[in-house]
Amino acid sequence: MSEISRADVEHLAKLAHISMTEAELEKMAGELAVIVDSVRSVSEAVSGEVPATSHPLPLTNVFREDEVGHVFTAEQSLLNAPDAEAGRFKVPAILDEE
Amino acid sequence: MTQTLTDAEPLSYEEALEHFDPVLGFEVHVELNTKTKMFSSAPNAFGDEPNTNVNEVCLGLPGTLPVVNGKAVEYAVMLGLALNCQIAERCRFARKQYFYPDTPKNWQTSQYDEPIAFDGYLDIELDDGEVFRVEIERAHMEEDAGKLTHAGTSGRIQGADYSLVDYNRSGIPLVEIVTKPIVGAGARAPELARAYVSAVRDIVKGLGISDAKMERGNVRCDANVSMMPKGTTTFGTRSETKNVNSLRAVEHAVSYEMRRHAGILASGGTIVQETRHWQEGSRTTSSGRPKSDADDYRYFPEPDLVPIVTTAAWVEELRAQLPEPPAERRRRLLAAWGFSEQEFRDVVAAGLLDEIEETVASGVAPSVARKWWMGEISRLANARDLEPAALGVQPAMIAELNALIEQGRINDKIARQVLEHVLAGEGDPEEIVSARGLEVVSDDDGALTAAVEKAMAENPDVVEKIAGGKLKAIGALIGPVMKETRGQADAGAVRKIVLEKLGMEG
């Protein structure tokens, strides 16, 4: 059984901005451990020389020409904004770097 | 409970270097000047109304998909080559995940374990000609974030009531250049820092892949500094001073951080690993954000973008197109133009190498080209609070003006007037000279001779001196002749007529 601790889940939940109850943290730690073990059993089935796959499609170099396409007006850009001021999205001040 | 000392009076620069050796590291972000953004077709432009250079991709709206700008990849490879890097045969993008309102999709698309360029170096020339090699760890592609404005009484994040976000900058292509730790610069570390950032700026400008204006944030530097006791080789804890956006500030920030670290270490204290903010007014840094849990970015390969594969043929094709490296070009031009070291340094500092080179290529002597650009054009630019290169004077115009002077059709003074008319949009020099009747008075119709005769008649004492052999006295007749001809007389022609009238040899 993998070691996914309650503290691991709590840390991840904090990074992902997901609020979880004590009971959910316990439950999720167990469930994630099962998932990690299941994935591990897949990797046991392949030999060491097979590189990890990040992209299942046999495609590379899908590029776009450097040509300007459509843009939104400021009004359109702000349609989903919970709040706006002076053509800009208005957000709570978050203490971080400037 | 004993408290760890994390703050102390900075040492003097000399004291700091007596006991410690600096270790530097730089992350320089370069904004590419493609027409469109890294992953969307929205325009990459500066100075427009907020949130008008954006589309659904830049705003990170659900269900939207990025597509890579092929031109940006080409530029990144060119930059990698100019930094003497290896170019990855295969690389991919990754998500760097964090919550901050400058990034609407809650991750920045970047490169992590597979940068497009790696293992390079730059030979940096210091002011006295000493060359210092800076090793490049990697150069990777990523996207810029939006711009935050903090609203509130202070205008700074501390004490702000809320922030306003403009996503026009969101998604502009960036290449981040990361150095390996730079050891051994000693007392010259701040100077090397400035010279390194300056060299990177010159390279991207020379490649034509960035507007390279530091004041606009096209080239931004994060400076890492740590100090280790002399004679040791284990690096100390570093601080990272973010977004130091002028060459002078890079030099000062590194110098200040060296002194600050030394002060804390010499007092037995501990350096906190944190970001620092450069304060231009006091020429110091202030504490930013300590390294924390939030720096766990959980990178993973970007599933929405397929890998990039470079072929040797393509890379070599791009390598063949690279311009001459800036340092080599400067050496070549200095030798070709015959300027003094000081004259040449002034030209470089004024940012006028390109202009003078083009002017010389149009057939103007190097010293004459320098006089125009460093003299009259710089003066006019200064009066308008512009960089000389931004004034809008074309090298071809200077060549045309100079030809008019050499043909004796206008004099220096008139040429300067013509330049002002050129800037006022009245056309090219030839058109202005004929439209405004500025051509020097030729003597085809005897007008010049008449003016000279008048001046001689009105100044008999001067004429007597000239006749007595004091040829310098001719100067006293030039003024009245100029007045008579509204400044359009050629001084050489006046002299010739005077001497003829007196039956003398020139």
CATH of domain B447-501: 1.10.10.410
CB atoms within 10 A of CB B96: 18
B290: region left, alpha or beta (phi > 0 left; psi from -120 to 50 alpha): beta
This prediction's pTM: 0.79
Measure B90 CA to nearest chain A CA, in Å.
9
A15 touches chain B (CB under 8 A): yes
What Cα–Cα distance (Å) separates residue B168 from each residue in B104, B173, B281, B312? 12, 12, 29, 36
Domain boundaries, chain B: 13-45+61-142+171-297, 325-428, 447-501
Angstrom distance (rounded) from CA B301 to CA B92: 7
Q: Which of residues 37-96 of A touch B (CB under 8 A)?
A: 54-55, 57, 59-74, 77-78, 80, 85-96
**CB-based contact B286:B276 (threshold 8 Å):** yes
User: Nearest C-alpha of chain A: how many angstroms from B309?
Assistant: 6
Here the tokens at position B272 are 């906190």
Structure tokens at B84: 């003497």
**Intervals of chain B under pLDDT 70:** 1-3, 152-159, 293-294, 442-445, 505-506
B90-123 per-position pLDDT tens digit: 999 999 999 889 999 999 999 999 999 999 999 9
Distance from CA of A52 to the nearest CA of B (A): 11
B403 C-beta neighbours (distance < 10 Å), count? 16
Residues 6+ apart with CB under 8 A from B211: B31, B33, B46, B218
User: Where exactly are the structural domains of chain A?
Assistant: 6-44
Q: Are B108 and A98 in contact (CB under 8 A)?
A: no
Whether B306 and A55 lie within 8 Å, measured CB to CB: yes
Please give the backbone phi and psi of residue A7, each rounded to the nearest 5 degrees, phi first. Answer: -65, -35
CA pair distance B260, B253, nearest whole angstrom: 10
For B320-385, give the DSSP string: HHPPPPHHHHHHHHHHHHT--HHHHHHHHHTT-HHHHHHHHHTT--HHHHHHIIIIIIHHHHHHTT
- Closest-CA residue in chain B for A10? B293
What tokens were used for B455?
Answer: 């001046």
**B215 neighbors B249 (Cβ within 8 angstroms):** no
- Using the Cβ of B361 and the Cβ atoms of chain A, whether some distance falls under 8 Å is answered with no
Out of B53, B161, B294, name the one closest to residue A71 (CB): B53
Instruction: Provide, as residue numbers in chain A, all residues whose Cβ is less than 8 Å from the Cβ of B306.
Output: 55, 57, 59-62
The per-residue pLDDT for A98 is 41
Q: What would the two tokens of residue A51 be?
A: 């590189």
**Taking the domain A6-44, which CATH number applies?**
1.10.20
Of the residues B33, B141, B164, the best mutation for testing chain A's interface (the one with the most A CB atoms within 10 Å of its CB) is: B164
Rounded to whole angstroms, the Cα distance separating B354 from B164 reads 39
- Are the CB atoms for B492 and B448 separated by under 8 Å? no
- Please indicate whether, in this complex, the C-beta atoms of A88 and B296 are within 8 angstroms of each other: no
**B506 compared with A82, residue with greater pLDDT:** A82
pLDDT of residue B436: 87
Q: Tell me the residues of chain A between 28 and 47 that have a Cβ less than 8 Å away from chain B.
A: none
The yes-or-no verdict on residue A97 having pLDDT over 60 is no
Q: Say which of A14, A94, A97 has its CB closest to residue B101.
A: A94
B residues 202..221 contacting A (CB < 8 A):
none
- Listing DSSP states for B214-274 in one string gives GGGTSEEEEEEEEEEETT--S----EEEEEE-SHHHHHHHHHHHHHHHHHHHHTT-----E
**Which is it for strands B219-229 and A63-64: parallel, antiparallel or unpaired?**
unpaired
Residue given tokens 């001196």 in the structure block? B465
Q: Do A88 and B306 touch (CB under 8 A)?
A: no
Q: How many contacts (CB atoms, under 8 Å) link A and B?
A: 150
Helix axis angle for B395-406 and B412-423, nearest 10°, is: 150
Q: What SS3 class is residue B286?
A: strand
Given a contact cutoff of 8 angstroms between Cβ atoms, the answer to whether A11 and A25 are in contact is: no
Q: Which residues contact A42 (CB under 8 A, 6 or more apart)?
A: none
Check B34 against A66: CB less than 8 A apart.
yes
Question: Does residue A96 register a pLDDT over 60?
Answer: no
Q: Does B55 touch chain A (CB under 8 A)?
A: yes
Helix (H) or strand (E) holding A39: helix A22-44
Check B164 against A55: CB less than 8 A apart.
Answer: no
